Amino acid sequence: MIILVRHGETFWNREGRIQGRTESDLTPLGERQAAAMAALAADLVGAEGPHGWRLVCSPIGRAQRTAGFVAEATGLPIETDARLAEICCGAWEGRLRAEIAHIHPDAFATREWFFGAPGGETFEDVTARASDWLGTLPPEPERRIIAVSHGVWGRLLRGAYAGLDRQATLDQDVPQDAVYRLYNGQIDRFDCEPLD
């Protein structure tokens, strides 16, 4: 089983700024989202506790901060794996989406925009990292992992896990107030209680 958590809202998420691998702190709402997702992940781990579970996280600060909440809720130590890092958005990192849209009016017409940044990673690059990580995990049912990562990476991991085609992979949601359970070939979404 994999319990997949995306980091909480960041200041750059709120501003509409492209993050990629650049750092941006969690907002107060993002902190509350992280705490709520951590509690939900702990519930999904179950009554038997975290024995046999691992908590693996992207090296990027917003994911590490979110994983800190999960570690507190579960008692698990955080392991860092660079393969869980968000897509590199190259020259677009730190720039406002509106600014890029002004220069490239068609850039955001589809969810393919993530892969159009000069010097950034491709769909194939990120899928290869996600698939490589997935391939190193123990088989189900021994697999017990909580993974804390990012929107694009998590979307592509779920696509690789379920064998989705490119469009179906990109059409998936990337919430910051829900977690996903990947188990026995299925992907289930669990929403947190609404936060204000």
Under 8 Å between Cβ of 96 and 16? yes
Under 8 Å between Cβ of 172 and 28? no
Tokens of 172: 């998936």
Answer yes or no: 86 catalytic: yes
Nearest-angstrom CA–CA distance, 42 and 46: 7
Answer yes or no: 51 catalytic: no
- Given 9, 86, 93, 121, the catalytic residue: 86
User: Where do we find the tokens 């070939």?
Assistant: 185
186-191 and 78-80 beta bridge pairing: unpaired
| DSSP label of 120 | -
Which amino acid belongs to residue 160? A
- Given 7, 93, 121, 150, the catalytic residue: 7
Measured CA distances, 154 to 26, 42, 52 (Å): 18, 19, 23
Collapsed DSSP state (helix, strand, coil) of residue 134: helix
Nearest-angstrom CA–CA distance, 78 and 58: 10
Q: Which of the residues are catalytic?
A: 7, 86
